[in-house]
Amino acid sequence: MQNINAKPLLICLKYFNRKAKIMTVKRLKFNKENCIGCQLCMLACSGMHEGVYALHLARLEIESYYEQGEELKFEKHICSLCGVCKKQCPVNAITIIDKVSVDRDTCTGCGICAEKCAFKAIKLREEKAVICDTCDGDPWCVKMCPHGALSFE
């Protein structure tokens, strides 16, 4: 029996395990059919993260509006985990492992990440980037939505 070097195989397995983990990351999903526009999700978010119930401090945004007598319309600003913000950050303050995180000590508040985010999911507060961290895997917005318009899957 021939001796083989197992090191390349182990490196390959670690790579695929890391890739598999990235592929199975949960995301917030919005179902507009179930939403009534109450914005409890945003209040839960600001209460959890900022200690104040204020819509403008929420890390996710679901705007609801009527357009000239039509039915209720929505515009959501929720992170899709696309990674554009991470790629664009000039100081590497953003990481994406099982959630998006901003290192507040490293962030310079330049705003490039917010500018490049197609979903408008990044906000600048106190000269630092802020983004939904899904409450470390147990999002309060999902728990508080009375009609199941938000899910975490």
146: pLDDT confidence band, cut at 50, 70 and 90?
Answer: very high
Average pLDDT on 14-28 reads 60
Contact (Cβ atoms closer than 8 angstroms) between residue 79 and residue 121: yes
Q: Which CATH number fits domain 26-152: 3.40.50.300, 3.40.1390.10, 3.40.50.720, 3.30.70.20?
A: 3.30.70.20
What is the structure's pLDDT at 9? 46
Q: Phi first, then psi: what are they for 114, rounded to 5°?
A: -65, -40
What is the structure's pLDDT at 24? 67
Residue with tokens 């939403």: 35
Q: Which of 52, 133, 142 is nearest to 100 (CA)?
A: 133
Domain locations in the chain?
Answer: 26-152
pLDDT tens profile 34-81? 999 999 999 999 999 999 999 999 999 999 888 887 888 889 999 999
What is the structure's pLDDT at 18? 52
- Flag whether pLDDT at 12 surpasses 90: no
Average pLDDT on 3-28 reads 55
Residue with tokens 């099982």: 98
Higher pLDDT, 13 or 118: 118
